[in-house]
Structure 1
């Protein structure tokens, strides 16, 4: 065995877990870890400007790579508290983020020490598991457990607090148990699968509703094979429009207010809905039956048994992995005659084509000054490479964009999902780009959210992370301004945001900046951003009146003043 500090033991265990990137911000509580990283060239350290945005990078890295993303907060107290929003975001997305947080010395606990905060309690509500190291010799065991917990279904973030005295102590390194992250994805119980197959076999208007279980499991091939056997359109839950490739003829897009009218209409008329890897969560249903047929027979497939039938009544609940169960159903339905659903599938293709034509026409009409969002979305659809991966914020402009982009090669869409976080997209995109360096990464943000996180341009430049950020600049907090316009008689307060010229800010950091005042300038700017060989920011001026109240249901108690 080799003698090393506790910090060295943490880093050696990260190597044993095959970690290649660590995001973090240095601090005195974790200096032994940073020193060990300096001596470990196999791990690339990405120094960030804020622990919150660093956690978003780790989150994006995890979702894009399928591995755990690691964020290291070197300072106890404020360094740890800055992690909370990022971990809450990762928790809502079931993203396997491992947060390593420096903590004050063990002997100083409960003494009102400098930067003391109860980190154990702090992280408990926003992680899958939180614990604090108590012995240096057990650090390898605890780091292994962090990865095991984060990566075992249902995946999620974990936080491990590391007191500075535990990191400073010298021990003989003992690797402990080997890295192991759980059993293979579970198959559905045969009787439940057979019952589901009988329902699908009798469907005249079958629909597959694909969610995060399909996307995160990378099981779109199995789902497409089943859809083709059934002539079943594939709709997706919001934020998972890339669960299957958008180029497939059975692709319907996302349902609900964050989706499109075609997918939602088919969900409303389906007689059997096969829900693969989705909870029927808030953004899919708003906890109503407005966006799907309440009379449909619903087959729900989930790896979380508590999710089965929890939010909507189901005819059959199948505990199992979405992709595995899709393959089981394909075998069970071998030889199925889906000619009765052929017209149903043909109708989808026709209506989907009409929708896309309407969107392109809206884009052509929207080439005004200032530009309409539809024009920007149409140009991105035309110009984005097939390998493009899109990250998005919450907020009115990104919500309008969610169902509009071309998701050709899954995974290709990364959003805040049910946490609805503003300030997520750019940092997430940096993590996605590091996970998939050969793919094009395009981050869409409003100007307010970008203002929160633009310091990470420095991280992108320092670490040569060549993503493209398109800032949709309408000079306001658009979602809230829309509510003030529609429900509070235009009594605006706190809604307008004065911004610096973000293209010039990018240049000052050493990135490439572009400003687009007119739609005719965008194609050139985007082409230059793709080719510049640097991190790129495109500041696009968008009509501030192009706002939409997505959560109109929240204001049913109000009449328009």
Structure 2
């Protein structure tokens, strides 16, 4: 056993877990830790706001499957990161949040930055603890790091009082962290039951969700679908779960999804749901589709027992790892003990109209996206903010070929895309990383661009400038007779701002030169910003029950369209 201080112990734990990065903002409580990290190969990526560090750690964790360290000052550093930690939780991203705190003697006495970070993060992490003794840091770190990477993956939080960070403890330098094996296998009988249901259906469909949209799941999923030869669609935001060039992949359902995928799902007589909670937002009634019709013969396979059968009436709920289900199903099919009779249903969906309606009412904005869809390289990682313009990129048909789609999921966050694109570029350096956002979103998160410039991470930002919060303005156009309240924006010169920060700035005001402007963006080897002037023409808003609807007014005059 070696006597070391707690900060030294933390660095040894980072090294034992082969961590390459630390993300965050260095506080006075972590001065000793920072000085020790100075002599290691672990790269520190500092941001100008804790939220941006959280999103970078989230995305690197998603793409590598390895929990990333988010280093936070106690107090306001923790509260500033709440949005990012919540997004990681919603998207099952492995993350280890490490914060300092008031000393063990002064905690709870209204000390400097004396906020109970453990209680604040308890609801949005898998586990949140405060270490009260130096000899328990090793135990807690190992327990939390393992917990972050076991399904369902997610963020964990450890708060260490400032005085404990400097205390001595003992550590066995020879002991390494054991590998975590978590399989959660289904039974052979269960898999055969599901395969029998597929074999006896005439119009079976796969609905693919977030639990298999990971490096472990995508390869077996592709093989599974090729053997079944049945159509597949994805839940909202998981457009990249399967190679979109596959003839069986019809696209995503939900907001700005594939009309063909929605129609095929509605017509199905058996739906196998792989790794999705089937949440209400995924089933938003876009194009007027009513998913209440798909209540027969739904089999939901998920690792989440809380949401199994919660949002839809299902025939069968199976709580297991969907990736392990797929692997076992492939073995059963290959054993030739099972006849899928797939000749019954190979092409039933091909007669369904594949023509997608125009997104916008006019021609200009449609033309902008037509050019973007054509000019963005196939091998790209795409990060999207929530917003009427940026989310149109969900219509891109090249997801899953080489790159990934990265969103905040049902968090619906504006302010995610720049940090997300930085994380994607750090995790997969040889793949171009694009961030799509509106003008309001950029001005909210532009300090994140400073991190890309400071650490020379060549992300590519595409900003749709219509001087509006577009989703809200779309509702005001569609339902409130163009009475604009809080939706118009007065922006600074965005290209000038980007250039002043040190990025390459490109302004696209002419549709005739847009292709050339995108080529300039694509060829840049430094952080670059392309601002595209857009018309005030918006996609049809989702009129779901929890959004905007007509209500009775008894006092004030209605102005509905």
Global fold match (TM > 0.5): yes
What is the rounded CA distance, in whole Å, between the counterparts of 1:541 and 1:150 in structure 2?
Answer: 42
> In 1, Cα distance between the equivalents of 2:178 and 2:412?
33
Give yes or no for contact 2:51–2:81 (8 Å, CA) kept in 1: yes
- Preserved contact between residue 135 and residue 170 of structure 2 (Cα < 8 Å): yes
- Whole-Å Cα distance in 2 between the matches of residues 227 and 49 of structure 1? 44
Could you say if the C-alpha distance between residues 3 and 519 of structure 1 is closer, same or farther in structure 2, counting changes exceeding 3 Å? farther
Q: 1:265-276 to 2 correspondence within 5 Å?
A: 265-276=263-274
Residue 555 (structure 2) aligns with: none
CA displacement at 1:137 relative to structure 2? 2.7
Q: 2:125 and 2:315 mapped to 1: Cα distance?
A: 32
Distance 1:411 1:527 in 2: 19
Any stretches of 5+ residues in structure 2 without a counterpart? 553-559
Quick check: 1:492 aligned with 2:484?
A: yes
Cα deviation digits, residues 306-334 of structure 1 (max 9, x gap)? 33222212222222222221233334444
- Asked whether 1:114 is paired with 2:118, we answer no
Moved more, 336-345 or 460-469: 336-345
Aligned to 1:64: 63
RMSD over aligned CA atoms reads: 2.3
CA distance in 2, matches of 1:218, 1:22: 24
When the two structures are aligned, how many residues end up with a matched partner? 547
Distance in 2 between residues matched to 1:118 and 1:184, nearest whole Å: 32
Report which of the two has the higher share of helix.
1
Q: 1:237-248 residue pairs with structure 2 within 5 A?
A: 237-248=235-246
Whole-Å Cα distance in 1 between the matches of residues 514 and 95 of structure 2? Answer: 36
| Alpha-carbon distance, 1:182 to partner | 3.4
Question: Which residue, out of 517, 525, 535, partners 1:525?
Answer: 517
1:185-240 Cα offsets, whole Å, 9 max, x none, are 22212222121111100111110101112212532332233323333111000010
Alignment match, 1:313:
313
Pairwise CA distance, 1:61: 0.9
d(CA) in 2 for partners of 1:86 and 1:48?
A: 13
Partner SS state of residue 347, structure 1: coil
Match of 2:44 in 1: 45
* Separation (CA, whole Å) in 2 of partners of 1:481 and 1:67: 40
Q: Structure 1: which 5+ residue stretches go unaligned?
A: none
In structure 1, C-alpha distance between the alignment counterparts of 2:513 and 2:135, rounded to whole Å: 60
The answer to whether the Cα contact below 8 Å between 2:434 and 2:459 also exists between their aligned partners in 1 is yes
Matched, 1:277 2:275: yes
TM-score by length of 2: 0.92
Alignment-derived partner of residue 464 in structure 1: 456
Please give the residue correspondences for 1:47-446 in structure 2 after superposition, counting only pairs within 5 Å. Answer: 47-73=46-72, 75-174=73-172, 178-180=176-178, 182-286=180-284, 290-291=290-291, 293-333=293-333, 334=336, 335-347=339-351, 351-352=353-354, 354-355=355-356, 368=364, 372=365, 374-409=366-401, 412-446=404-438
| 2:546 counterpart of 1:556 | no
Moved more, 532-541 or 399-408: 399-408
Measure the CA separation in 2 of the matches of 1:509 and 1:146.
38
CA contact (8 A) 2:25 2:71 kept: yes
1:280 match: secondary structure:
coil
- Which residue does the alignment assign to 2:502? 510
| Partner SS for 1:108 | coil
SS at 2:93 equivalent = coil
TM-score (norm 1): 0.92
Give how far 1:146 is off. 2.2
CA drift of 1:287 comes to 9.9
What displacement does 1:286 show? 4.3
Q: Partners of 1:424 and 1:510 in 2: how far apart? A: 21
The 3-state SS of whatever aligns with 2:430 is coil
- Structure 1's 367 and 346: CA in aligned 2 closer, same or farther, altered over 3 A? closer
- Separation in 1 of the partners of 2:200 and 2:394? 33
